[in-house]
Chains A and B, each alone.
Chain A
Amino acid sequence: QVQLVQSGAEVKKPGASVKVSCKASGYTFTNYAMQWVRQAPGQRLEWMGWISAGNGNTKYSQRFQGRLTITWDTSASTAYMELSSLRSEDTAVYYCARHPPGWGYFDYWGQGTLVTVSS
């Protein structure tokens, strides 16, 4: 069965970087894109960016341009989301979600990773 398992909670200081991993299983990793979505406490879902299937091209929300890097290691079936220059407003649960190419939805989600930014 399809599973996306994310790395554990992180506590970071303002200005630092965080890298969250998302290990996929149960399907051919490179046949699907991977999206990243975050949710601040009590707030709505916010789309961050994606890495496309096959060629690994990336697209980021303008809100995170210059701070966000999404990569993947196909040999490990793992996607990564790295956010730099962290500030308190980046405190949120970060989710990875599988995206079938050519379709406009996210069908499987990771369990979420809480990133807390605090001095």
Chain B
Amino acid sequence: QSALTQPASVSGSPGQSITISCTGTSSDVGGYNYVSWYQQHPGKAPKLMIYEVSNRPSGVPDRFSGSKSGNTASLTISGLQAEDEADYYCSSYTSSSTYVFGTGTKVTVL
């Protein structure tokens, strides 16, 4: 199972919006609404930010939103803040009853 494809890096100024894409296939992202997004700060465990494509767990700011079109899911951070600087990973359930993560995106707040 190949990793889902994400851009290596995305940057933005405070207050701006950025979008991270996550491209898979019809056997994973395109075939299921089980796409989730995780934030990881250096040296820390990942944190769930979005589940089932567009749902936010309790406590996650509403400036984080998710969507999906075909085989590509997206995470948008609106009103970028300094504490949003981190690595972000998408994940999807697959037709093999397994999971796959994305290649990861480093978000830099300029």
Contact = CB atoms under 8 A, between A and B. Distances in A.
Contacts of B91: 45, 47, 104-106
Nearest to B105: A44
A12 B22 CA distance: 35
Nearest to B34: A104
Nearest to B100: A47
Contacts of A104: 32-36, 51-52, 91-93, 99
Interface residues of A, number: 21
B99 A35 contact: yes
A45 B104 contact: yes
Nearest to B92: A104
A55 B101 CA distance: 26
A62 B48 CA distance: 25
Interface string A76-119: 00000000000000000001010000011111011110000000
A59 B97 CA distance: 8
B98 A103 contact: no
A61 interface: yes
Nearest to B33: A104
A46 interface: yes
B104 A110 contact: no
Contacts of A109: 45-47
Contact of A47 (B35, B52, B101): B101
Interface of B: 1, 3, 32-36, 38, 40, 45-48, 51-52, 57, 89, 91-93, 97-104
6 closest A-B pairs by beta carbon, nearest first, are A104-B34, A105-B51, A105-B36, A109-B45, A45-B101, A47-B99
